[in-house]
Amino acid sequence: MTVYWGIVGAGKIAESQMAPAIAAATGHELAAVSRRDLDAAQRFAERHGARRAYDSVEALLDDDEINAVYVATPPHLHARETVLAAEAGKHVLCEKPMAKTTAEAREMIEACRANGVLLAVCHYQRFNARHQRIKRLVEEGAIGQVTAARINFSDRFPPQPGVWHHRPEISGGGPLMDLGIHCIDLLRYLCGPAASVVAVVETLVDDSPVDDTATVLMRLDSGAQAVVTSHWTTANHEPERTNGLEIWGTEGSIVAAPISAKDSAGTLRVLTAEGMQDYSIEPGGSRPHVRLLEAFGEAVAGKGTNPIPGEEGLAGLAVVEAAYESARSGHSIALQDPPN
């Protein structure tokens, strides 16, 4: 079965990652794209071999060839466009963060469930080959009982003209929503869900209506403690120090970076009493976006499960909302899994 894609929001992330991934994935074709600027949509379509271009999501959803849409617009539009796609009978792969709020995420899940279509969230780090190796190592007990983890995903990103990320009505928040959501999902994938959250979330440097510096401490269901740092206030001159993870256990440790590699490339080292094992991957490795698309296609065809269902995106947003609540109140916030 071929998945014929429509891209809703033919912008930067669709340009650099998803359109090339669709071209590379077996059983996937780019049928159409939409963007408010029709000329820009047509140029995008020409660059990536899409057959048609539209200037609205409604027009794209009327295209009978399309059976799945990739929602790549800013977060404030995700819920509306996902619901419209579901009502049009299209499967949905939605960019992160899944929505601005958990309430919106629940609406998206319910709409897709009611209309019998898949809803997946583009937390592509789960398909990074190094991260999948880490998951196996943890499950096999390679470092004993996991007791602590840390993920840092930070950069320097002040407000810029024409960039929406510092506008809370569009983004829903600062680096915690933009970068931290990736870290939270990756921790969930590798080490399990969070039971409670304590956070410091501040606007520390820039004149911005959203946070620019966030530190989140989680107690996981397993009892392990995990820290996520996501900042827009730290200059990134050593990417592996500002974009990586550490997992510590009773018998050893795992260190990997960067978490955001688009070809799975990077370091992965495991240190135990037996010595160091190196599972690093050279540039040009398997592409997480392609692997995610192929898993999604298998699910559409009824030959596999939804690789990253909407409920996983909802769980990540619940942690973000708890972190904001903790920062406001100064208290630890308990979580339920799955979120109610």
Ordered structural domains, the chain, with CATH? 3-122 (3.40.50.720), 125-287+317-334 (3.30.360.10)
Q: What is the pLDDT along the chain (340 residues), one digit of tens a residue?
A: 899 999 999 999 999 999 999 999 999 999 999 999 999 999 999 999 999 999 999 999 999 999 999 999 999 999 999 999 999 999 999 999 999 999 999 999 999 999 999 999 999 999 999 999 999 999 999 999 999 999 999 999 999 998 999 999 999 999 999 999 999 999 999 999 999 999 999 999 999 999 999 999 999 999 999 999 999 999 988 776 779 999 999 999 999 999 999 999 999 999 999 999 999 999 999 999 999 999 999 999 999 999 999 999 999 999 999 999 999 999 999 999 989 7
Whether this prediction's pTM lies above 0.95 is answered by yes
With a CB cutoff of 8 Å and minimum separation 6, the contacts of 303 are none
Distances, alpha carbon 285 to alpha carbons 53, 130, 191, 266, 307, in Å: 32, 10, 24, 9, 20
- Note the helical H segments in 31-70: 38-48, 57-61
Asked if 101 and 324 count as a contact pair (C-beta separation under 8 A), the reply is: no
Peptide bond into 168 cis (omega under 30): no
Q: How far apart are CA 125 and CA 141, in angstroms?
A: 22
